[in-house]
Amino acid sequence: MKSMLIFAPMLCIIAFSIPACTNPKPDQNKPVIENPLPETPKKDTMQNGNMTMDHSIMESTKMTMDQMHAMKMTGDFDLDFANMMILHHQAAIDMSEAELLKGMDAEIKTMAQKMINAQKTEIIALQTIAGKLKTSSSKMAHKEMHNELGETMMAMMNKMNALQMTGNTDKNFVMMMVPHHEAAMTMSEDELSHGKNAELKKIAQKIISDQQREIVELKAWQSTHH
């Protein structure tokens, strides 16, 4: 069985600072990833342009990042998609909450709040489906392996690693959210191609529609704020 690590560069998606946060409590609703793979060594700080990663950001997102490191493909594409999208959505929520705390542009902050609301709702739906799939997946006699989800996440992280932070929270948020949304759309398209669960396919189609619209809005703002 092939496996996939989501390693430390993923942290670049939240590489702009916010005031110190308290350590988050474990979310009992998040999927428990069994049989974790060896963890990729992490750096305490990450340089991207002239920006240095804030330690409080690392602490506030530790649960999500640790689960990404532990993510292992099961061979059930629906279950893998649900678990991966839960973590992907949580990362977007972390980014959006940072924008609300440090951003200055009212339009972008409004968009960030809408993303939080929509993706929290989708996480709940995905968790419910993942719980059902986990039970049935353990009984599967044959599991078909696909690596599309892992490849998409790797491509997204590479794009984000190449970004140069501007020192402006609003611009950084928009710049990072575009490839993040693009990755969610690609993962959702793969779910439509390889998945079998009707509920997940419906969620995937909604993700494509919603995030395609948001990318247009983000790029429109970006074009007028050089």
Return per-residue pLDDT of the chain as tens, 226 residues: 444 444 344 444 444 443 434 444 445 444 444 433 334 334 333 344 334 433 333 344 456 555 665 678 888 999 999 999 999 999 899 889 989 998 999 999 999 999 999 999 999 999 999 999 987 655 554 456 667 887 887 788 778 777 888 888 899 999 989 999 999 999 999 999 999 999 999 999 999 999 999 999 999 999 999 8
93 falls within a domain: yes
Query: What CATH number corresponds to the domain at position 115?
Result: 1.20.1260.10
109 falls within a domain: yes
Q: Quick check: 71 and 85 in contact, CB under 8 A?
A: no
For residue 44, give both structure tokens: 């305490």
| Cα–Cα distance measured from residue 115 to residue 94, given in angstroms and rounded to the nearest whole number | 10
| Cα–Cα distance measured from residue 49 to residue 78, given in angstroms and rounded to the nearest whole number | 38
DSSP 13: G
61 falls within a domain: no
Of 153, 92, 169, give the one whose Cα is nearest residue 123: 92
| Cα–Cα distance measured from residue 39 to residue 25, given in angstroms and rounded to the nearest whole number | 21
Vertex 164 angle, CA 163 and 170, to 5°:
95
Burial 121-132 (b: 16+ CB within 10 A, else e): ebbebbbebbee
174 falls within a domain: yes
Neighbours of 25 (CB within 10 A): 7
Q: How many domains does the chain have?
A: 1
Domain of residue 78: give its range.
Answer: 72-223
181 falls within a domain: yes
> 3-state DSSP: the chain helix, strand, coil percent, rounded to 5?
65, 0, 35
Q: Quick check: 169 and 95 in contact, CB under 8 A?
A: no
| Cα–Cα distance measured from residue 18 to residue 94, given in angstroms and rounded to the nearest whole number | 11
